[in-house]
Amino acid sequence: MARDDLFPEIPFHRSGFLDVGDGHRLYWEESGNPAGTPVVFLHGGPGSGTSPAQRRFFDPQGWRIVLFDQRGAGRSTPHASVQANTTPHLVADMERLREHLGIDRWMVFGGSWGSTLALAYGQAHPARCLGFMLRGIFLGRPSEVEWFLTGIRLLYPDAWRRFAEFLPEAERGDLLSAYHRRLFDPRPEVHLPAARSWARYEAACSALVPDPRQLADMENDQHSLALARIEAHYFANRLFLPPQGLLAGMDRLARHPAVIVQGRYDVICPMASADLLARTWTGAEFVVVPDAGHAAMEPGIRRALVRATERLKTLVAA
């Protein structure tokens, strides 16, 4: 019978910190089968970090599962740092990690911002990619950032109102700049409340049916600060992507197998971006989950992702 939900919890069997320069040390871990097909998991945000549950998308008998926390995120150090933290830095970090682990080629799995980084990495290093499993597509275009900051109010006016009204009325005309100033203020009494407000807003809009556990995660100040500060940094700098955007480089990935999983009612990363990517990447399988939003652990999303890892495991093994 085909697998239709998460695999059981598994421990990691190897972990460490990789010095990637610029004062950054990345936390990484491996689980699953050391002789299996390598897959690298790219977390979202940027800045959200990884969690043990993310290992469970993969059959531990078939996959060599690599998770790592990107610069400033999770257990990587320095925490919430945006110094030398750009998309090209993260792409280079992935290559350094791949070489450090002695992996020739790997499957790339990423959701939300992780899908952005997966495409940027794949276009820079297509020969190192076996294929792609992507969720909640974010192409990093200015229109997508603007949607997150203001467009969501059309569907979540209550959550957006709390997000906006955290700021003085005079500053609400430019939410990103106002939050950016507070998030980078050195005083905890200034940056922590702003980080909590940003993180709660994102969590409130992420799932079709809100998950109390995800909302509770946003009460963790360490997590909220890394997420909000690094996201604001990337948003303020157009995600450090080339002016022509990611779609212009999709010819480099035309022959790679890929599965795109998208919740029909994803409000954080609306489906139009996934639809555009799928029409550009004609060889990719496009799976629309009819009863889901953005969050990876929503039942329909996680089932579709597990099915994708099982299909691609078979394809790569063949």
Catalytic residue numbers read 112, 266, 294
Check if the beta carbon of residue 132 is closer than 8 Å to that of residue 108.
yes
- From CA 158, how far away is CA 162, in angstroms rounded? 6
State how far Cα 131 lies from the chain centre.
17
Check if the beta carbon of residue 271 is closer than 8 Å to that of residue 293.
no
Check if the beta carbon of residue 69 is closer than 8 Å to that of residue 43.
yes
The residue whose two tokens read 């599965």 is 259
Check if the beta carbon of residue 107 is closer than 8 Å to that of residue 133.
yes
Burial 110-138 (b: 16+ CB within 10 A, else e): bbbbbbbbbbbbbbbbeebbbbbbbbbbb
Cis-peptide, bond into residue 46, ω within 30° of zero: yes
